Each structure stands twice: as structure tokens, then as C-alpha cells.
Amino acid sequence: MRILVTYGWCRTAYIAAESLSRAGFEVYACGSTALSMVRVSRFVRGFDRVPDPFKEPEQYVTEISAIVKRRNIDVLLPVHEDALAIQTYREILPENLLIACPPRTELVRVLDKYEIIKIAASAKVAVPKTLAPANLIELESCAQELGFPLIIKTRRGNSGKGVFRVNSLAETRQKYREVVDNFGLANNQLPILQEYAEGSVFGSCFLAKDGEVKACFVERYLRCKEAGFGTSVLREPCEFPLLQDYTQRMAKALNWTGIGHFDFIVDSQLSSAYLIEMNPRFWGALNLAVQNGFDFPRGLVTMLTKGEPDSDCFKPLLQPVASLWIVGEIIAGVAEFRTGKGLAPLASAGRILFSDRPRTYDDFRWHDPLPLLMELTHYGSSFLASGGNLNPVATEMMQ
């Protein structure tokens, strides 16, 4: 069986390709940059360049359709929010192609951060108080009702993009207007306001079919880039029945089929949790789950093709391992250096090279080293092209 993995520049695609290749599938990949890390991976049979799915969605799907026909692809595996473009222009793709993601209506629904908060509340899953000002006039009353600090969030976004903490009414007014103007948001896309929740960040990764959770894996974020507002760079597995229960409730409320990921803020006593948002796709820390016995890429593909995931896809390790994103740790070190922590790069190097616990890497394999070099080149190029931005944003991602 031939599988095409999309979004080939990111480590999520790399882990998916590794998983499926090891399972015996014939894996191909595509990406919108020549600096895609999967392009040089031993786990991929071939790579094709495609347009940017956010800037040229229809052309993106048209190019994928041509690849599918030329390479006789059986399953298309979107690993990011390019799934929305793929399902929007589904008619361009061959009718018999299996696509490993939910239909467009479901994706649109859960990609809206305000909508997912409302669904969670109806499913009796705890959420931070969240308000959606209809206009700038309502902004002040909403902010005063929530109190400070509070969080401004775009209704779409990923990897910490479009999320801002503000500490006063004046700062709220300024930042809210900046966000609306910079991202060109229409009246039906205005950002939401959310009460600031103290605590640690956890993630719940899952595979479900018709609202029934087939597998659930919970991760604790130990370190994030950009002072906690960015993607996690170091995390470990953990047992957390409350988050597993919340995950089951959400999957049932959504009648979800496919993979997904929920972010939670958990209090210091690990006794309560707030659901923050949902990623209806593979998540950045996918490697942690796979390395601990939860092979979500293989589980998703076998569920799609056989009706149920293979029975040996989800077998937890007796000795759990943590996972570090090398390039993410470098980014975190640079961010800390910019705040005046002069030794931060050295500390990051130490975290990469040494560990006091069993650990694996998101983006490095000794027997497949070239993808890490390509990933470093890609992020370095993006850093320079954006004028030194550590988390560059494409406007189309936020709309």
C-alpha cells in the first residue's frame, strides 16, 4: 500500500513517515519547501514539491492530485491543517483515494477555538471563562469582566501563534487592534478573550472512531519555547485519568473519527484541569507517543483501511521515555538569550547532549541523520527571512 504524507518540512511528517515505513508501507512525501526534512529521509521513497496550502489551497490540492495519480497513491495522510484545503477541494482528488482526516465541516468546527470551548462546556469538560466580543465597543466590558491578566486569542492558529497575554485595559485595546489589523480579520473572525489560567500544560493525544476512543496517550510538557507560549520542546508521558475522561467526553460530543489532540492547563495539585483548545491533526510531540508504544500513524491508517486499528499499535512501554525536540530547544535557548540570559545557549546545548532520564529525540535518528540537518537549514532560513522572528506567522493560517 502506498501512502503520501504531506507537510514534509516538519518533524510530525518525519515521525509519521518513519512509523509507516517501519510498518511495511511504501511511503512518499510532499512539502512546500525544498528544505523539507523528509526529503532526505531513508523512510521515504520519493518527494514532490507542492505550493503552500495556506496561500494557494486550490493549486496545492491540484498538485497533490497529480502526485497521487503519478505515484499510484492509496492513502493520503495530511499531517497538519492543510487537511482543510484538501477537504475543501476534495472533488479535485481521485474519488477512490482514502484520505486520513475528517470532512471539511468537522475540521472547520473544531479549528474555531471559541466553538471548541462551547462544545467542551456542553460536554461538562472544564474550560476557562471565554468571551467573544462582537466588536471593539464590547471589548472593554468583556476585558473588565474577565479581569487581568487575560489572554487574547485568534479563533484560528497553531503552535502558539495568535496567542497574547495582556495585563491592563490599555494593553488589551492596543494588542486587540494590532491582531485584527495585522491578520486582516473580518468581523466573523474577531479574536476571543480568555481568563488567564495558572498551571502546567498537558496534552491528550487520541484516536477515535464514531466518538469512541480507541487509544489515549497523555503527555506533560516540561519545557516550551518562547516562555511557555510556544510549542513544547521537552515532554514526558504520564497517567492522568481526569484528562482521559475529558478526552472521551469530547470525542463522544464531537462524534469524532480520526486522530486529535487536546491542550489542557492543570493546577499544581493535579486535581483540576481546563481544556484550552483542540488540534484535529497530528501534534508536534507525536514522537513521544510513538516511542512509548502508541503508534498513532499506523493506528489511523489501519483503522481507515481495515475498520479497526491493528491490535499491536497501542502497547505502552514498561519503561517510559521522554522526548526532546532538538531544533525547538535551540529556538528556546535563543529566546531566553534575547531576554538577557547570556548562558541560555550553553544550557540548551547541555539539555540536548545530556539527560538524567531515558530519552529520545523528535528529529534525530543515528541511522538517519540528514533530516535534522535539513530541519536546521529550514528553520535557519525562515529565521533570517522573517528578520529574526522565532515563530513566523502566515496571515492565511489565522483566518
Q: How confident is the model at residue 229 (pLDDT cuts 50, 70, 90)?
A: low
Of 47, 44, 7, the closest CA to residue 26 belongs to 44
Q: What is the mean pLDDT of the chain?
A: 94
Of 6, 15, 23, 73, the closest CA to residue 302 belongs to 23
Of 338, 385, 298, the closest CA to residue 43 belongs to 298
Ranges 165-179, 195-209, 213-227: which has the least confidence: 213-227
C-beta separation of 25 from 35 below 8 A: no
Q: Would you say residue 269 has pLDDT above 70? A: yes
Of 102, 32, 21, the closest CA to residue 61 belongs to 32
The arrangement of strands across the sheet holding 163-166 comes to: 130-131, 192-195, 150-153, 163-166
Fold of 129-195: Dna Ligase; domain 1 (3.30.1490)
CA distance 236 to 285: 10
Residue with cell 529574526: 388
C-beta separation of 82 from 59 below 8 A: no
pLDDT at 336: 93
Write out the DSSP string of 243-312: HHHHHHHHHHHHT--EEEEEEEEE-TTSS-EEEEEEESS--TTHHHHHHTTB-HHHHHHHHHHHSS--TT
pLDDT at 227: 60
Of 259, 115, 241, 129, the closest CA to residue 189 belongs to 115
Of 227, 82, 237, 220, the closest CA to residue 158 belongs to 82
CA distance 376 to 327: 7
**For residue 286, how far is the Cα from the chain centroid?**
9
For 144, phi and psi rounded to 5 degrees? -70, -35
| CATH architecture for segment(s) 2-101 | 3-Layer(aba) Sandwich (3.40)
Q: Would you say residue 398 has pLDDT above 70? A: no
Instruction: Please report how many Cα atoms fall inside a 13 Å half-sphere around the Cα of residue 157, on the Cβ side.
Output: 29
Ranges 20-24, 222-226, 232-236, 266-270: which has the least confidence: 222-226
Averaged pLDDT for residues 88-103:
98
Q: Would you say residue 17 has pLDDT above 80? A: yes
More confident call, 314 vs 161: 314
Q: Would you say residue 228 has pLDDT above 60? A: no
With 0-12 / 13-18 / 19 or more C-beta atoms within 10 angstroms meaning exposed / middle / buried, residue 345 is middle
Instruction: Please report how many Cα atoms fall inside a 13 Å half-sphere around the Cα of residue 68, on the Cβ side.
Output: 22
pLDDT at 214: 98
Q: What percent of the chain has pLDDT over 90?
A: 86
Q: How confident is the model at residue 225 (pLDDT cuts 50, 70, 90)?
A: confident
Three-state DSSP class for 217?
Answer: strand
Q: Which DSSP symbol is given to 364?
A: -
Side chain identity at 332, as an amino acid letter?
A
With 0-12 / 13-18 / 19 or more C-beta atoms within 10 angstroms meaning exposed / middle / buried, residue 126 is middle
For 175-205, what is each residue's pLDDT tens digit? Answer: 999 999 988 998 888 999 999 998 999 999 9
Give CA separation, 167 vs 10, 160, 195, 201, 335, in Å. 34, 18, 11, 21, 21
| CATH architecture for segment(s) 105-126+198-363 | 2-Layer Sandwich (3.30)
Averaged pLDDT for residues 307-329:
95
pLDDT at 281: 95
Delimiting residues of CATH 3.30.470.20 domain(s) in the chain: 105-126+198-363
Q: Would you say residue 395 has pLDDT above 60? A: yes
